[in-house]
């Protein structure tokens, strides 16, 4: 897929075909994630990739909106340091947002769907993933080939109109 196609085709995919994701494709998605920009290039992140079905099922219980993780082909957990102050926490979240979009666009480029999930139960996530006490699991990004329909550019996205969101020169 061309980048412009991938941008328009990406959507949250929450039902996945049983087809696994090839190792080289998962590695490409992880490489895209690693290359994401971050504040002062600090890269305050680690990524835990999960493909084991039982682990994915456990992971799907960390938040009531994470159910789709259970049937994903793979899920990437975004893990970051616990920030001491609000400014650091905001900056880390911005960086994680950039990493998330890298994952999603690299996946869409390969025809692979992706779906965010928040994490509510940090202790449960820690037990399942084994990350240290000074980190938290910020987000889960589930991956898999869409069970419903392939990724193709969305002609009319559910978004505010361009002229509503864009202010040219001044508000």
**Whose Cβ is closer to ligand FMN: residue 21's or residue 66's?**
66
Say which DSSP state 83 is in: P
CA gap 96, 140 in Å, rounded: 11
Candidates 30-38, 84-92, 111-119, 122-130; binding stretch for ligand FMN (CB under 6 A): 111-119
CB of 121 to ligand FMN, least distance (A): 13
Q: Is 153 in the site for ligand FMN (CB under 6 A)?
A: no
Phi, psi angles (nearest 5°) of residue 99: -65, -40
CB 43 within 8 A of CB 80: no
- Pairing of β 74-81 and β 113-118: unpaired
**Whose Cβ is closer to ligand FMN: residue 16's or residue 63's?**
63
CA gap 57, 64 in Å, rounded: 13
Q: Which of 38, 116, 121, 124 binds ligand FMN (CB under 6 A)?
A: 116
CB of 16 to ligand FMN, least distance (A): 13
CB of 11 to ligand FMN, least distance (A): 4
Q: Which of 6, 32, 71, 117 binds ligand FMN (CB under 6 A)?
A: 117
Q: Which residues contact 166 (CB under 8 A, 6 or more apart)?
A: none
Exposed, middle or buried, 66 (CB in 10 Å: 0-12/13-18/19+)?
Answer: buried
Q: Which residues bind ligand FMN (CB under 6 A)?
A: 11-12, 14, 63, 65-66, 115-118
């Amino acid at each position: 897929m061309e980048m412009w196609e991938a941008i328009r085709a990406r959507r949250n995919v929450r039902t996945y075909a049983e087809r696994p994701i090839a190792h080289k494709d998962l590695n490409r998605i992880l490489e895209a994630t690693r290359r994401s920009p971050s504040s002062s290039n600090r890269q305050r992140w680690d990524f835990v990739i999960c493909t084991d079905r039982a682990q994915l099922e456990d992971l799907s219980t960390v938040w009531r909106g994470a159910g789709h993780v259970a049937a994903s082909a793979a899920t990437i957990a975004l893990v970051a340091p616990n920030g001491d102050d609000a400014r650091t926490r905001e900056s880390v979240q911005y960086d994680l947002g950039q990493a998330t979009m890298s994952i999603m666009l690299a996946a869409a480029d390969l025809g692979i769907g992706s779906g965010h999930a928040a994490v509510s139960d940090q202790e449960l996530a820690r037990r399942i993933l084994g990350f240290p006490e000074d980190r938290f699991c910020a987000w889960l990004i589930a991956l898999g080939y869409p069970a419903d329909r392939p990724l193709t550019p969305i002609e009319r996205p559910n978004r505010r109109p361009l002229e509503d969101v864009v202010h040219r020169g001044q508000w």
